[in-house]
Amino acid sequence: MPLPAPAQPSPMSDASTPTSFAALGLASALVHTATDLGFRWPTPIQAAAIPPALKGQDVLGLASTGSGKTGAYGLALLHRIIQWRLPGQRQTHALVVVPTRELALQVADALQSLSRGLRSPIKVVAVFGGVSINPQMLSLRGAADVLVATPGRLLDLAERNAVKLGQVQLLVLDEADRLLDEGFADELAQVKSLLPARRQTLFFSATFPAAVDALAATWLHQAVRIDLADPVDTSPDGSTASDARGRAAAGLAGTPRIEQRAIVVDTDRRTALLRHLVRQEAWPRVLVFAATRHGCEHVAEKLRRAGVSAAAFHGDMSQGARTDTLAAFGAGAIQVLLATDMAARGLHIAGLPAVVNYDLPRSAVDYTHRIGRTARAGSHGVAISFVSSSTEAHFRLIEKRQGRRVPREQCQGFEPRPVAASDAAETAEAVAPERAAGGIKGARKSRKDKLREAAARQGGRG
Ligand code: AMP
């Protein structure tokens, strides 16, 4: 009888990734569920973070986007809850804080899946703003074993005595650097004041700029720091010291998971180029990042008028519309999703082959999270950035920070015009979204500009 073929590590692990889920010390029901979910081996971040987390240590876990961080803290958290819970009594022993509503739902779903093999069920409740608080209060009656929350809604619920955080023994900050930055600082400080001082704390992210290190130290106690992130993800200055080590440990050595491309294009030709790429590349779906809510609406509208199935996704939309749009995108009913950075962090959209930076992100950290929406769970993907003469310097900074140069390409028919001619046209395009929304006035192209443009276009194509 032929011997069974030796098992191959999953694309998310590599030869240096030790062992099996069972060897990490996880409860057997969790090991079975992980296997049922198709997780054959722990990913590197899971292999590194689960053992110290099971021992009760604080962990700062840094690993690339899409590398299984939710499973890393999720499995550890569920294992600890099995140990802590008492028969007939439900208390909130674990709190996971996330920056966006969509991420709250996604994490709660993942935890529910991971816990489905347990003999006595674990109650996971997601709470987030933008929807009525009453159903959430109802579902919190009798407490939840695990609460997944955005900070604002968590505080609202605490104020109404709908959640009790005094029994929390394990706190997870997912996308920790985002939660520690200015935007959430006050809310996070309040959340902290409601938690027991003696607790275990786990931080996870793909990025952790040095600026948040000091603040992190006030939350963590003798934390085990695990750094498997790409260099850009952690380095504020573009140093590549952890490059080889980090990439090898994350199983990313060799072919990069995300193929990064940069197309040089005049600002006013970006929508046409996007339309061209959507047609040419025939992506089943593509996530396109724009800088503003108006920009998203404006480009989505233009694409729709050209017969492309496109929608916008941003913070001005109702939560219902946000959820429906994301579901439609995931189900393939929408081909092009125009999103602000609200979609940059943590979202797992299965089978997303491409991300386009229509507008460049503000920082290298945002760039990492944006492009990390593709090539998840060991698959490959492409990230295309549109770069113009006015954003070239900014893109160079992003390249420097990630220690990687992205070759500039031109696309036939969309070659940039000489700088002087494109400037005027770009100004007009740049104000178009605002004008559509009743914003900035003026900056209409002059006759001379139009003539110059036409001449440049002819010259450029010849
Ligand atoms: P995350 O980085 O946590 O968003 O996970 C990205 C994707 O990887 C999700 O679809 C997970 O279900 C999947 N995943 C997590 N852990 C593993 C594993 N050990 N093996 C294979 N896939 C995994």
Nearest C-alpha neighbor of 218 from the set 406, 32, 60, 447: 60
- In 85-203, which residue ranges form alpha helices assigned H by DSSP? 101-114, 133-139, 151-159, 176-180, 185-194
Contacts with 13 (C-beta within 8 Å, 6 or more apart), sequence order: 41, 42, 43, 44, 47, 251
Taking all residues of the chain, what is their mean pLDDT, rounded to a whole number?
A: 85
Largest CA distance in the chain: 82
Nearest C-alpha neighbor of 12 from the set 64, 67, 61: 67
Q: Is the CB of 377 under 6 A from ligand 1?
A: yes
Return the pLDDT at 246. 37
Q: Same topology for domains 22-228 and 258-449, yes or no? A: yes
Amino acid at 400: K
Residue range 169-221, pLDDT digits in tens: 999 999 999 999 988 999 999 999 999 999 999 999 999 999 898 999 999 99
Please report the beta strands in 207-298, taking only residues with DSSP state E, as ranges in sequence order.
Answer: 224-228, 258-264, 286-289
Atom 18 of ligand 1, residue of closest alpha carbon: 39
Residue 86's pLDDT band (cuts 50, 70, 90): confident
Return the pLDDT at 146. 98
Residue range 100-154, pLDDT digits in tens: 999 999 999 999 999 999 988 999 999 999 999 999 999 999 999 999 999 999 9
- For residue 372, report the phi and psi dihedrals to the nearest 5 degrees: -75, 0
Atom 6 of ligand 1, residue of closest alpha carbon: 66
Atom 15 of ligand 1, residue of closest alpha carbon: 68
Residue range 370-393, pLDDT digits in tens: 999 998 877 889 999 999 999 999
Domain boundaries, the chain: 22-228, 258-449
Residue 62's Cβ-count burial label (10 Å; 0-12, 13-18, 19+) is buried
Return the pLDDT at 195. 98
CA of 66 to the centre of ligand 1 (A): 7
Return the pLDDT at 16. 53
Return the pLDDT at 89. 87
Residue 454's pLDDT band (cuts 50, 70, 90): low
Whether residue 15 has pLDDT greater than 60 = no
Euclidean distance between CA atoms 396 and 406, whole angstroms: 9
For the residues of 272-324, what is the DSSP string, one character each? HHHHHHHHHH--S-EEEE-SSHHHHHHHHHHHHHTT--EEEE-TTS-HHHHHH
Whether residue 12 has pLDDT greater than 90 = no
Residue 405's Cβ-count burial label (10 Å; 0-12, 13-18, 19+) is exposed
Return the pLDDT at 377. 75
Atom 14 of ligand 1, residue of closest alpha carbon: 68
User: How many Cα atoms within 13 Å fall on the side-chain side of residue 132?
Assistant: 4
Contact call for residues 147 and 125 (beta carbons, < 8 A): yes
Euclidean distance between CA atoms 73 and 202, whole angstroms: 8
Q: Is the CB of 12 under 6 A from ligand 1?
A: yes
How far, in Å, are 237, 282, 381, 399 from residue 405 at the CA level?
15, 26, 18, 5
Whether residue 439 has pLDDT greater than 60 = no
Q: Which of 85-89, 160-164, 452-456 has the lowest mean pLDDT?
A: 452-456
Residue range 321-370, pLDDT digits in tens: 999 999 999 999 999 999 999 999 988 998 999 999 999 999 999 999 99
Distance in Å from the first CA to the final CA of the chain: 68
Residue 232's pLDDT band (cuts 50, 70, 90): very low
CATH architecture of 258-449: 3-Layer(aba) Sandwich (3.40)
How far, in Å, are 194, 352, 355, 371 from residue 384 at the CA level?
43, 13, 6, 9
CA of 345 to the centre of ligand 1 (A): 15
Yes or no: domain 22-228 corresponds to CATH 3.40.50.300 = yes
Euclidean distance between CA atoms 415 and 422, whole angstroms: 11
Contacts with 220 (C-beta within 8 Å, 6 or more apart), sequence order: 58, 60, 201, 203
The structure tokens 């605490």 sit at 158
Nearest C-alpha neighbor of 312 from the set 330, 332, 333, 290: 290
Residue 292's pLDDT band (cuts 50, 70, 90): very high
Higher pLDDT, 364 or 8: 364
Residue in 20, 70, 379 to alter for ligand 1 test, most ligand atoms within 8 A of Cβ: 70
Return the pLDDT at 254. 35
Buried b vs exposed e over 378-390: b needs ≥16 C-beta within 10 Å? bbebbbbbbbbbe
Question: Quick one: what percent of the chain has pLDDT higher than 90?
Answer: 73
Contacts with 174 (C-beta within 8 Å, 6 or more apart), sequence order: 69, 70, 73, 96, 97, 98, 103, 107, 204, 205, 346
CA of 71 to the centre of ligand 1 (A): 6
Instruction: Looking at the CA of residue 39, tell me the nearest atom of ligand 1.
Output: 20
Residue 233's pLDDT band (cuts 50, 70, 90): very low
Q: Looking at residues 211-233, what average pLDDT do you find?
A: 86
Whether residue 409 has pLDDT greater than 70 = yes
Return the pLDDT at 438. 31
CA of 155 to the centre of ligand 1 (A): 30
Return the pLDDT at 346. 86
Higher pLDDT, 289 or 251: 289
Q: Is the CB of 61 under 6 A from ligand 1?
A: no
CA of 367 to the centre of ligand 1 (A): 21
Q: Which of 100-104, 300-304, 440-444, 450-454 has the lowest mean pLDDT?
A: 440-444
Instruction: Looking at the CA of residue 74, tell me the nearest atom of ligand 1.
Output: 3
Residue range 268-286, pLDDT digits in tens: 999 999 999 999 999 999 9
Report the 10 Å Cβ neighbour count for 81.
22
